[in-house]
Structure 1
Amino acid sequence: MKRYLITSREHYSDTPAVFRSILQESLKKHLPDYALYRDKSNPHYATQADHFLDVCKNFYGLKTFLHQDYKLAAKLGAVGVHLTSMEFETIVLAKELGLEVIVSTHTKEEVLKAEELGANYVTYSPIFSTPNKGEPKGIKALQEVLKSCKIPIFALGGILTQEQIEQISEVNPYGFASIRYFY
């Protein structure tokens, strides 16, 4: 099962040297297959994204993604972009730039729409209880969505423990994504 590390300002800081150090340690400790630089409020997002990609290039085979800004992702040489569930129209534009696309989804319909529009992967969330993310979907809902599509799905939301990862792996998604598990 693939592992997808997602950064968050409250765990990684927006001070470049601190960010780089924490990210380096997280990547070294967990060896994820995918990593996303996500920081919705950093006014220096492009600079920090460049630091993110610089640290990540030291980890062979790690696929790097930037959040929402597909033009910046292409310019800086990220593998792809992670779009929100409100950005389906951007899938084609990102793909035209040669980027892989991950889309955040929360319903079976959104998963199917992302698949139809050519996204490479989706996250489906929240699986477990997560602050400010609504009612958890649970493993059973994840299993049902997996049966309805072919697109690779990362389970996301409230994944903090190895036990939760083992529960998720029983329904055989492509992988899992988390912020707090990797911190």
Structure 2
Amino acid sequence: MLRYAITDPSYYSSDPLFFSRFLERILRFHAIDMVVLRDKQTSDYETLARSFLSLKPHFPETKFLLHSDECLAASLGADGIHLPSNAFGRISHAKSLGLWTIVSTHTLDEAVEAEQEGADAVTFSPIFPTPGKGEPKGLEKLKEIKDKISIKLFALGGIVTDEQIGAVEGAGADGFASIRYFVE
């Protein structure tokens, strides 16, 4: 089961020094396969991205992804990009830049489209109840999507316990993505 950590400024801060120290502790404590810098609040994402990517040499087994900006990800040497669900048209551009590409999805049609456009993986969410994210999709929908796509599928949304990780694994997910699991 692949483990994908998503940062959030409410836990990690947007201060580059505090952020990198906190993230380093998280990466040392958990066996994380992928981590994405997701911070929609900072006024200086590039500086925060440089701090984030400064940890990359110390964790060679972990993929370091930036969120939304494939050009910045490529120029700074990130391993990949996490694109939002409204950016399917940018998948081929991200791939042409040599970036491993994961896309947020919320429906079967979106997951299929992401695969057709060349994405390496998708997140599907929310699986479990998550503050502010609407009605959960559930494990049956997760299984249905896994049966219809061949790229990697990461369950996302409300995953905060080992029991939930076991449940999404049982539904066929290749991995899980979470903010709170890694910090709470």
TM-score scaled by length of structure 2: 0.97
Mapped to 2, the partners of 1:31 and 1:55 lie a distance apart of 15
Correspondence for 1:110: 110
C-alpha distance in 2 between matches for 1:42 and 1:15: 9
Determine the structure 2 residue equivalent to 1:160.
Answer: 160
Number of equivalences: 183
Q: Distance in 2 between matches of 1:171 and 1:56?
A: 31
Question: Residue 133 of structure 2 aligns to which amino acid in structure 1?
Answer: K
- Structure-1 separation of matches of 2:64 and 2:21: 17
Question: Counterpart of 1:95 in 2: which secondary structure?
Answer: helix
* C-alpha distance in 1 between matches for 2:43 and 2:171: 40
Alignment partner, residue 95 of structure 1: 95
Aligned pairs for 1:30-41 (under 5 A) are 30-41=30-41
Question: Which residue of structure 2 lines up, in the alignment, with residue 23 of structure 1?
Answer: 23
Code of the aligned partner of 1:168: V
- After superposition, residues 38-57 of structure 1 pair within 5 angstroms as 38-57=38-57
Aligned counterpart, 2:134: 134
Which amino acid in 2 is paired with 1:24?
E
Q: Secondary structure at the match of 2:110?
A: helix
Which residue identity is paired with 1:179?
I
Deviates more, 1:92-101 or 1:106-115: 92-101
Unaligned runs of 5+ in 2: none
Separation of aligned partners in 1, 2:5 and 2:59: 13
How far did residue 56 of structure 1 move?
3.0
- Displacement of 1:172: 2.3
Counterpart of 2:60? 60
> Which residue pairs with 1:174 in the alignment?
174
Shift of 1:173: 1.1
Distance, in Å, in 2 between the alignment partners of 1:4 and 1:55 is: 16
Q: Secondary structure at the match of 2:136?
A: coil
Q: Secondary structure at the match of 1:131?
A: coil
Partner of 2:124: 124
1:131: Cα distance to partner? 1.0
Aligned amino acid, residue 139 of structure 1 = L
Q: Which residue of 2 aligns with 1:5?
A: 5
Distance 2:43 2:59 in 1: 27
SS in 2 for 1:57: helix
* Aligned-pair CA distance for 1:151: 1.2
Distance 2:17 2:55 in 1: 11
Q: Deviations over 1:71-91 (max 9, x none)?
A: 000000001110001000100
Aligned identity (percent) is: 49
